Structure 1
């Protein structure tokens, strides 16, 4: 299944989503044009590192790749591809965008009291860990997923809510400013472990089900849902190489695999930062008083 075939079959707009491409480019232009002038408005603002810039750029690429590239078309026919989309959009992409956002941009964001209070509520570790995982499990109930995959409004609404709650989920681990909830290193390790436990039941249900759960991936989708439009499609437009049950099991495995790799990498990063902090601490601060 080549890119040329997908473009010819579904059309350039459905395959490549130029509207989302434009939005992604505009966000990138806004980021790189604002970080300089905004930095000078904060006396103690540190320069934006190359690592941060690359992290934000890769995060934007993943945002487009997950929602607007041919991966979106393929995800309507193959559940395994759909789960790869989910993994990139909700587990990896927020990490990159938050890591690439300098502290002074966060401070500019929370300068308004209502924004700061809202973030303090929704990025609290308990709502943060519960909202995303509950919504993720809710979305993967067969009746909900089948409805979302065949209704543009429901599809985009759930995708937007999952994106927002994914950012809330990662904020306690990655927040660069104390105005937004920031955990100690030990609490971060426990928080990430709790996330890995809470997401497991949804993946296990998908992997170990004895029959296909989703009508969309048995009889095929009826419409192609993209961020800014929908288009009628049918199963004959795409050659599916796997049986629905094998495809479903592969999807659960891929989701769990990406989740374990992502959470494992963040755990290792947090532990290394904790170790460096303890190592650099003067000996007299380690002694009991």
Structure 2
């Protein structure tokens, strides 16, 4: 069994991507601490927000810049874990990490504000997210995107963006952007889980390998050439991803679909619990406020 070391440091650790994330992280902390006074309603950055942002950047590098990204081109089940983290884990952390006053500054740009108002509408957000995710995993589309570096990068950014829109109605804390109440949020989560199921089921119950990216040595070679460079890959004289894994292509594919569904259910379960207790606390708080209000003298008479 071959190891990933043969591909070299640059392919394994993506130093340029790491540099981009470091710049973004530094920019975030500088703007939210040292220069927050330039924002009209800037408030101190909380430890929780800072920790969540760091965690989101670390996870983003782990799935797109570390050897995990290379493994995702060798094993489909790793690709599905990568996708789950990209659209189900990092976006919620990112939304909660950015302070409301910073979001308001972002929305002061009319184009961004218009896009958010349109694509974060619950029905549109659900259709866009699940549609683009399912569309991406149609075999002919998946294989085409994986063989083009610009399409692959662009579609990854698009999936991340529609994931932000999908999570926004559930997690944002801005009163002017609240479009769902407690009960509607519960229904939203259930609907999201149902809409993602067909894509996972198609992958799980297929009786043959669907993706040429992993089953066709020629297509796989083109995909890997984008990761490690044509010259480097050609010199390795590799015949296919089976050199790096003992699992069959069909079982690899089925495992990927199962893992995606399990991870989705776990994350949605956590968010469902968060939404339920948030709804319960708000209901209790409203009840206490009503009890504290003085009785109307007219009603007493």
Q: What is the TM-score of this pair, normalised by structure 1?
A: 0.90
Matches within 5 A, 1:36-185: 36-42=33-39, 44-185=41-182
Q: Secondary structure at the match of 1:77?
A: coil
What's the counterpart of residue 206 of structure 1? 203
What's the counterpart of residue 266 of structure 1? 271
What's the counterpart of residue 223 of structure 1? 222
Deviation readout 1:42-72 (Å, 9 max, x if unpaired): 5654432211111111101111111111011
Structure 2 Cα separation of the partners of residues 43 and 21 of structure 1? 32
Deviation readout 1:243-284 (Å, 9 max, x if unpaired): 000000100011001100111100100111111111122346
Structure 1 Cα separation of the partners of residues 131 and 228 of structure 2? 27
Deviation readout 1:45-102 (Å, 9 max, x if unpaired): 4432211111111101111111111011111110000001000111100011111111
Deviation readout 1:100-124 (Å, 9 max, x if unpaired): 1111110110112332122111111
Does residue 276 of the first structure (1) align with residue 281 of the second (2)? yes
What's the counterpart of residue 285 of structure 1? 290
Structure 1 Cα separation of the partners of residues 280 and 64 of structure 2? 37
* Larger fraction in helix: 2
Structure 2 Cα separation of the partners of residues 203 and 196 of structure 1? 11
Q: Are the equivalent residues in 1 in contact too, given 2:147–2:222 (CA < 8 A)?
A: yes
Q: Are the equivalent residues in 2 in contact too, given 1:211–1:245 (CA < 8 A)?
A: yes
Stretches of structure 1 lacking an aligned partner (at least 5 in a row): none
Structure 2 Cα separation of the partners of residues 43 and 98 of structure 1? 20
Q: How big is the shift at 1:231?
A: 2.4
CA gap of 1:235–1:62, structure 2 versus 1, over 3 A, is farther
Structure 1 Cα separation of the partners of residues 92 and 175 of structure 2? 18
Q: Are the equivalent residues in 1 in contact too, given 2:68–2:78 (CA < 8 A)?
A: yes
Q: Secondary structure at the match of 2:229?
A: strand
Deviation readout 1:196-249 (Å, 9 max, x if unpaired): 1100000011011111111111134123469x9662444457422210000001
Judge which range, 149-158 or 241-250, deviates more: 149-158
Q: Are the equivalent residues in 2 in contact too, given 1:38–1:105 (CA < 8 A)?
A: no
Q: Are the equivalent residues in 2 in contact too, given 1:133–1:199 (CA < 8 A)?
A: yes
CA gap of 1:229–1:77, structure 2 versus 1, over 3 A, is closer
Q: How big is the shift at 1:38?
A: 4.7
Larger Rg computed on CA atoms? 2
Q: Secondary structure at the match of 2:267?
A: helix
What's the counterpart of residue 245 of structure 2? 240
Task: State the superposition RMSD in angstroms.
Answer: 2.4
What's the counterpart of residue 10 of structure 1? 7
Deviation readout 1:130-186 (Å, 9 max, x if unpaired): 111001111111101111222212212221211111111111111222344542122
